[in-house]
Amino acid sequence: MNDHIEKLLDGVREQVIAWRRHMHAHPELSFEEHETAAFIVARLEEIGGIEISRPSGTSVVGRLRGNRPGPTIAIRADFDALPITEETGAPYASRNPGVMHACGHDGHTAMLLGTATVLAQLRDNFAGEIRLLFENGEETPPGGAKGMIEGGAMDGVDRVIGLHLWSPLEVGQLHINPRRMMAACDIFRIEVKGVGGHVGAPHRAVDPIAIGCQIVTNLQHLVARGIDPVEAAVVGVTEFHAGQSVGVIPATAVIGGGTNMFDPAVRDLIERRIGEIAVGICAAHGATCDYSYTRVYDTVINDPETAAIVATTARDLFGTERVEERDPIMPGEDFSAFGQVAPSCFILVGAGNRAKGITAAHHDARFDIDEDALDNGVRLSVNALLALLKHG
């Protein structure tokens, strides 16, 4: 059986790379992935024996059943891209101006298609169902997971896993944490409302730029002086928009950013304190503000039992030294929604390679992966899913 699986895995390796490169060259933004969804459906139809449904928008679900009843194990891959102009210079670089697969979602979907190809040829050897979840819109709140769940994608699922290619981790390495895996992430927006005027008569205006700068500076103190040092948290300002002329003090300034944390109490504190800081500083300078805070994705929490099964499988496949239990990471992930429906495990698959110069961060215009990571991902997915089916 193991030799047969190895031959099937070897047979799909080059196809997975080709699929990934095709999707990389034809990226689509969140919730607009019509051609990518059609590509996924066409590939599943070619594999054969997979019941295909469209639970929400551009998402796709495939159901692959074994030769007898058993548990249902789901595996998720996302497939949306980002509004970034690619600068890799790769022969498979984006052909859609201003849109790029800069987070590895093209690889995630290619790996899941490869996994489906292999498992479809093994359906006579396992009991139960493999649920293939192709998620749309992961990069853009509210994400695609909620809609898929509401559309029935997770109905009857006993466990769910997901893999994420991770460029800070060297190819060949894997990161599986038995509990906290990724942080919750939220977004905030502050509109400072001052009084516009002439730059030469600042005393007649209420300058929202100067006030906004005070807000940005004071937000840096929130984590450093307002949160227990043993609790991980991030408050980051990523947008500041104001003014259109060098001679005009504008009437408004807009500040936006994101937050990350693990503890629900810290989340509550951050939401409250950002608003208090903004309102207080505005009031001190004669301005007002509108403040909004949106909770986006919850913490990704791995189920210890599911994570243990996946980790054991990974160590058997790749060796103990290549499977790491690292600290959780601060970015957020929509996979958390699936994990709230069934016991879950999220795995980071090393995709960077310093020797090859593949070191760019996720969401960078130069982002790429070492494509050897794709084979590692398919290999782990196939074997972990079979192990989880046996466990029940």
Helices (H), the chain: 2-25, 34-47, 105-120, 145-150, 208-226, 264-284, 304-318, 335-339, 372-391
Instruction: Compute the C-alpha angle 235/237/238, nearest 5°.
Output: 130
Tokens of 38: 């059609």
| Residue 80 a catalytic site member | yes
Nearest to 363 by CA among 184, 175, 168: 168
For residues 101 and 351, is the Cβ–Cβ distance under 8 A? no
Helix, strand or coil, per DSSP, at residue 145: helix
Tokens of 247: 């001679």
Catalytic residue among 138, 263, 368, 375: 138
Catalytic residue among 80, 139, 191, 303: 80
Nearest to 20 by CA among 374, 256, 360: 374
Separation of alpha carbons 74 and 342, rounded Å:
9
Separation of alpha carbons 53 and 108, rounded Å:
19
- C-alpha torsion sign, points 9, 389, 106, 371: negative
Sequential DSSP letters for 338-361: HHTTS-EEEEEEEEEBGGGTB-PP
Element housing 54 (H / E): none
Beta bridge partners of 297: 185
Q: Are strands 184-193 and 174-175 parallel, antiparallel or unpaired?
A: unpaired
Active site amino acids? 80, 138
